[in-house]
């Protein structure tokens, strides 16, 4: 017959000192693991939520990022009136020829970092419905004016509305802040595209964003552009492009997994010590259980359940400790273009479930050897122990 679970629950509270130390140890491991994974989830979500269905991104063949791509002025003129390109009420094509450049800005605290400048076309902001002005006004082309993501502005000096910062030999005026709805555009500064080309002496654009009229037109437009050998361009749905820009997230996940494994070794030893001490203190108790008819495997299972229970409590505490960081903005360097990427910690229900499962696994592994020892204790010697 199996030992009742209430027996294990009672033992957890009776030996509360060792219980607390084990729970705290596992909670620290779980909290660190869940926070690092929440970084990766937040970064991936930022890319996954970016883009508008029906928008097509045109780049040079072989380019892996907009910053390493080139689209010539002649190519833009060739593409803008192709069948399938949506037009406004005046018959103007809904496209945005963008220029992406990196500049270095001082942080509000200390140090400097690369920041992405996106020079957009006249319809650039209309094609990106996720971006909304929240303070100030949009820039006026030709006046050395920029608008900055509000989240990005919170991390860099001289980026409040009304302030100015140096961009090479030019002084740029910040005239507005925008909110990009937790998308990749939250990591950018926007200004006029042709003005950007002029300031940085760029002959070509970096990419071309096109709004297609419908899904069939998008497919036909993609085929026509990619099969034209004189263009040497590739076309990617905007949403798909940003979903693939997750190299930094994978690196963070790797680091998080490595830290979790390293710390779990220590947590396993802590759980093992606690359970060994519990076995030592309950030697006579184990002998009595054997006399009462409980089999070795019942005792083994009972100690494993107890270890899992301790770890589960530690997992819950770890999730509680990590939870205040959910939604907190942070940033890191993108491995795609080496610029500052702004995103948020995202603790999802799936991440919490994985963390609790991880904690229980730690408890079971850490309790396994002590549980075997308890199950193998000789009945007579156990009853004689003090």
Q: Is the pLDDT of residue 49 over 70?
A: yes
| Cα–Cα nearest to 271, from 132, 365, 131, 340 | 365
Residues 203-217 pLDDT 10s: 999 999 999 999 999
- Could you please report the per-residue DSSP string of 275-316? HHHHHHHTHHHHHHHHHTT--HHHHHHHHHHHHHHHHHHHHH
Rounded to 5°, the CA angle 65-69-75 comes to 135
Identify the pLDDT of residue 99.
95
Residues 275-327 pLDDT 10s: 666 655 565 566 666 656 667 677 777 777 877 888 888 889 989 999 998 87
- Give me the count of residues in the chain: 386
Q: Is the pLDDT of residue 380 over 70?
A: no
Q: Is the pLDDT of residue 260 over 70?
A: no
Residues 67-113 pLDDT 10s: 889 999 999 999 998 999 999 888 889 999 999 998 889 998 888 88
In percent, the amount of the chain with pLDDT more than 70 equals 74
pLDDT band at residue 1 using 50, 70 and 90 as cut-offs: very low
Q: Residue 167: CA atoms inside 13 Å, Cβ hemisphere, count?
A: 25
In percent, the amount of the chain with pLDDT more than 90 equals 37
Paired tokens of 121 = 């076309």
| Cα–Cα nearest to 232, from 84, 81, 72, 83 | 72
Which is it for strands 207-211 and 95-106: parallel, antiparallel or unpaired?
antiparallel
Q: Is the pLDDT of residue 270 over 90?
A: no
The pTM (predicted TM-score) of the whole model is: 0.74
Residues 322-355 pLDDT 10s: 999 887 777 666 656 666 677 778 888 998 998 8
Identify whether the C-beta of residue 228 lies closer than 8 Å to the C-beta of residue 222: no
Identify the pLDDT of residue 144.
94
Identify the pLDDT of residue 368.
74
Identify whether the C-beta of residue 156 lies closer than 8 Å to the C-beta of residue 187: no
Q: Is the pLDDT of residue 269 over 90?
A: no
Paired tokens of 335 = 């491995």
Task: Give 43 or 147, the one with higher predicted confidence.
Answer: 147
Mean of pLDDT values over 186-192: 93
Mean of pLDDT values over 174-183: 92
Residues 160-178 pLDDT 10s: 999 999 888 889 999 999 9
The span from the first CA to the last CA of the chain, in angstroms, equals 27
């Amino acid at each position: 017959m199996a030992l009742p679970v209430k027996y294990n629950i009672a033992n957890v509270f009776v030996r509360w000192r060792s219980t607390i130390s084990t729970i705290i140890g596992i909670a620290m491991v779980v909290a660190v693991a869940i926070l690092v994974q929440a970084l990766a989830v937040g970064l991936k979500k930022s890319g996954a939520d970016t883009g508008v269905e029906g928008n097509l991104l045109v780049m040079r063949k072989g380019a892996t990022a907009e910053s390493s791509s080139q689209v010539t002025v002649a190519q833009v003129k060739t593409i803008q009136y192709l069948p399938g390109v949506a037009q406004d009420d005046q018959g103007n094509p809904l496209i945005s020829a963008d220029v992406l450049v990196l500049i270095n800005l001082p942080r509000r605290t200390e140090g400097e970092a690369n920041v992405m400048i996106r020079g957009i076309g006249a319809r650039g902001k209309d094609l990106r419905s996720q971006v909304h002005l929240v303070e100030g006004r949009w820039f006026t082309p030709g006046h050395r004016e920029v608008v900055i993501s509000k989240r990005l502005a919170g991390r860099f000096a001289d980026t409040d509305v009304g302030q100015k910062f140096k961009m090479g030999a030019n002084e740029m005026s910040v005239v507005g802040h925008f909110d990009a709805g937790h998308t990749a555009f939250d990591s950018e500064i926007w200004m006029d595209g042709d003005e950007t080309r002029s300031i940085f002496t760029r002959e070509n654009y970096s990419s071309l964003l096109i709004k297609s009229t419908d899904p069939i037109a998008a497919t036909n437009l993609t085929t026509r552009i990619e099969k034209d050998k004189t263009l040497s361009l590739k076309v990617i749905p905007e949403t798909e492009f940003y979903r693939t820009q997750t190299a930094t997230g994978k690196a963070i996940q790797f680091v998080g997994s490595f830290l979790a494994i390293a710390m779990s070794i220590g947590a396993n030893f802590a759980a093992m010590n606690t359970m060994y001490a519990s076995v030592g203190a309950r030697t006579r108790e184990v002998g009595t259980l054997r006399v009462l008819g409980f089999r070795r495997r019942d005792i083994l299972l009972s100690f494993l359940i107890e270890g899992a229970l301790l770890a589960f409590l530690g997992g819950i505490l770890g999730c509680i400790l990590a939870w205040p960081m959910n939604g907190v903005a942070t940033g890191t360097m993108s491995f795609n273009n080496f610029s500052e990427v702004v995103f948020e910690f995202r603790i999802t229900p799936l991440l919490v479930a994985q963390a609790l499962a991880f904690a229980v696994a730690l408890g079971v592994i850490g309790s396994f050897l002590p549980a075997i020892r308890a199950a193998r204790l000789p009945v007579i010697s156990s009853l004689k122990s003090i």
